Structure 1
């Protein structure tokens, strides 16, 4: 009788112990899975957005940038995610039609509200930078330029972004920010590791590219001089990016963008004619009529303004590249230089050094002329191509390039000749240094221009946030994982032993 009671007690205890061990093991497995999933679940993306509007002389573009809130050496890692081109001319053309600015800006600003998450609209900064077109308007009528900026600011303030202002950036800023953009996209600010000692290779970060920017109304040249000596203080700018200090030379030539340079050339060449200008920079058979008042309406042509016996003049193309270039060279005054080295018009220019990225109109014109291959064509090849292109009859050219707007097509001969003249005679690139020029449109899906550099520099003023961390500290996570693992292992060992060798647990009761 006692043996039977003892056997029932053992069976009862064994069953309950196994149930407890089973539940403990299951609980330990669940705890391990829960802790692991909680600790290793993807963290929410912690990013910032910024919007920059590039208000150029001929058009306006909006760029949306994105960067992680945890910055790298105090400068955000910025990427372009969207570009939106506004339909219409530059904002300076709206000086007499301010009521249309709202309509002009709306499509791209609406696009921005769709791209940037709504939860981040109020903390997303919006900047508008106006360049040479507005610089010229300010020279002509400062009050009118301010009125345009006020109207633009009023329109942009209607959106629920953090509008930071609309202003005219200086030519030096435009050049320097373009320099930042190129070198950022090419990875020139990142230190490379030496595989032998895993220390930064100091020399690699110093070999930056120079920047050549050509717009419609101005052109900029920016680079780090080899000896770092800049004789003209107004041409020196200093930056700190990714833990490094940079001293760069930069100069902006207002009125020497391709559109205003053409106006200067026409205003110079029309003098002494009878109202018919036979122009070698336009194709044979090309004809157009232009108002003298329109030609002299720009501050860039005031120095050529004369009282002429006609109100309109006709341009007749003759298509001669060499004559065209000789006419263009008269725009560059290289007769005097108050410094050790100059570009033109008495402007200081250090000796050229290193590789250069040429973008904006440099790229668009050279792309059309098929000069944007990986290896820059030689001067002789470009000259031969330009001579053949400029001499092509206008009607033949229109047939071959029927999808190109006539205004742009008619000016490619002048633009190509102007670019070669500016680089060779204006900036003094030689046969040896010419091969260091690289024509660039985009790098890693980001447009090459001043706006990305502007955004990069501005992120230095945005405080970095603490990185998002996992729910548990590393020590707590390890402790819990070890604890629940030990509970699971102990439960399994005890359960196996109890199941196969129950006598070890009951021998004291026998």
Structure 2
């Protein structure tokens, strides 16, 4: 077996993925599998270089995960195992806010990762567009949509040649990617050639529209609209729930505008006064659905072709749909009514019913469910018919769905742009061969019949 390591450094955490595949020369599609993953304890890397004590814990957590991965790979394979780190929206935001700190963090990570006995390739910030494209490659690679081997052990394009669209919801950004017809062009279209076949992929990433950053923007609106700054009623919180936020929890990001006389230590007491309609209205207010200079837009004036075909929604999309207990039901009206029911369930009941969700996340899921519905229905324009084509998934064939596998496949040239293929036989040639074979069969049967008659008489 051969191995590859990708560290997905997102806005809220880092995860180390170890992939393995048979070491054959002509690698069959779909055989790369996830051997293990290790979630690095603590915050995302964009929180480094602020608190020295926290940094010590972060490096120890990184070391623990890297040691686990190292022990899982045979020692003789260490040198040939590629190691990549890709940082996403959390570091994109930090790079905008404090380029020097973001560069220092990446430099420290490169030094740290170079100390391991692997073939360290790079630690870099990937663009939102790349993140979307790599997610799309992961989804379709795992589903075997690019290429497969036929009975004669030859690579062929699967029947129907359909790919699946990809939707990713992270902490600081969200991505959509899907294949479109070749004649569409623009900054959101990427042309890729995989296994000899060209694909035109529409891919767009919305920075500040990840689950955590969108929540900060919504909390900011609730604060601004509150008549009493010491007792804030939150329509997106469950009845029976209350919490205290520090101003820095909401405003220490490039996604929200700091108020005048900003004090990072100022505290805000929030109490749940559930109102599903009001919550949705606040969620909708962070989107601009009116501004559009082309025939089709998603939101904020971003051009997007109409959604067609099947889609896989993963990461935050999966966890939020699971919290609503959708159980694979892909019905728009049912999703909508589940959101309302969730938002009007008492906090004590939620705690009893949703034991697998820790309170830190559970408190956010009323807002988050409205957010997912708004993003998909009003943003990407999924309707009652097309919503049925969305599958909310966490993994495919025991491999986590995300951008990291597609990134490794692309960076290590494991998906060739060209591949030797035997062209399919033309219909006329195939029909001729069938006729010839049939004629030979009839002649053979007649000859055998004549020989048998002569033998008998």
Please report the TM-score for the alignment, with normalisation by the length of structure 2. Answer: 0.84
**1:144 aligned to 2:101?**
yes
**Structure 2: distance between partners of 1:427 and 1:218:** 15
Partners of 2:155 and 2:93 in 1: CA distance: 49
Q: Report the equivalent of 1:453.
A: 406
Whole-Å separation in 1 of the counterparts to 2:356 and 2:144? 37
Q: 1:428 to 1:194 in 2, by over 3 A?
A: farther
Q: Give the distance between the partners of 2:382 and 2:324, measured in 1 at CA.
A: 20
1:67 maps to what in 2?
A: 21
Q: How does 1:224-373 map to 2 (within 5 A)?
A: 224-225=179-180, 227-232=181-186, 234-273=187-226, 274-275=228-229, 276-302=231-257, 305-307=259-261, 311-373=266-328
Q: Which residue of 2 aligns with 1:115?
A: 72
Q: 1:174 — aligned with what?
A: 131
Please say if residues 6 and 83 of structure 2, whose CA atoms lie closer than 8 Å, have aligned partners that are also in contact: yes
User: What CA deviation, in whole Å up to 9, does each residue of 1:324-380 have, x standing for no partner?
Assistant: 11111111101211222111111111111110000001001111221242x41x222
Cα distance, 1:246–1:288 mapped onto 2, change above 3 Å: same
- Displacement of 1:192 in angstroms is 7.1
Asked whether the equivalents of residues 193 and 201 of structure 1 are also in contact (C-alpha less than 8 Å), the reply is no
Q: Are 2:164 and 1:209 equivalent residues in the alignment?
A: yes
Report the equivalent of 1:38. none
Q: Which of 48, 62, 66 does residue 2 from structure 2 map onto?
A: 48
Give CA deviations for 1:12-65 in whole Å, capped at 9, x if unaligned. xxxxxxxxxxxxxxxxxxxxxxxxxxxxxxxxxxx3211000011111111111
Instruction: Determine which of 419, 435, 439 is the counterpart of 2:372.
Output: 419
Where does residue 387 of structure 1 map in the other structure? 340
Q: CA-to-partner distance for each residue in 1:232-271, whole Å, 9 max, x for gaps?
A: 2x21222222232222010000000111101011112311
Structure 1 gap ranges (5+): 1-46, 464-510
Partner Cα distance (1:418, 1:199) in 2: 42
SS in 2 for 1:428: coil
> By how many angstroms is 1:78 displaced?
2.1
- 1:293 Cα deviation (Å)? 3.5
Deviations 1:280-306 (A, max 9, x none): 11101211121223311110002x744
Structure-2 change in CA distance of 1:229 and 1:263 (3 Å): farther
The residue aligned with 2:445 is none
Question: For 1:359-414, what per-residue CA distance to the aligned partner results, in whole angstroms no more than 9, with x for missing partners?
Answer: 001001111221242x41x2221222221211111133224445532111111111
Q: Rg: which structure is higher?
A: 1
Q: In structure 1, how many angstroms separate the alpha carbons of the residues matched to 2:143 and 2:415?
A: 24
CA distance in 2, matches of 1:402, 1:239: 44
How far, CA to CA, are the matches of 2:356 and 2:379 in structure 1? 33
Q: Determine the structure 1 residue equivalent to 2:447.
A: none
Aligned residues: 409
Matches within 5 A, 1:183-222: 183-191=140-148, 200=156, 204-205=160-161, 207-222=162-177
Counterparts of 2:382 and 2:8 in 1: how far apart (Å)?
29
Q: Is the 8 A contact 1:339 1:348 kept in 2?
A: yes
In structure 2, C-alpha distance between the alignment counterparts of 1:350 and 1:160, rounded to whole Å: 46
How far apart in 2 are the matches of 1:455 and 1:76? Answer: 14
Structural mapping, 1:153-168, within 5 Å: 153-168=110-125
Give 1:68 deviation, angstroms: 3.4
In structure 2, runs of 5+ residues without a counterpart are: 417-457
TM-aligned CA deviation for residue 102 of structure 1? 2.7
Task: Compute the displacement of 1:166 (Å).
Answer: 0.8
Find the residue that maps to 1:345 and give its secondary structure. coil
Mapped contact 2:147–2:157 kept (Cα < 8 A): no
Is the helix fraction higher in 1 or 2?
1
TM-score under structure 1 normalisation?
0.75
> Taking structure 1 as reference, are residues 121 and 412 closer, same or farther at Cα in structure 2, changes over 3 Å only?
same
* Matched residue SS, 2:372: helix
SS at the partner of 1:322? Answer: helix
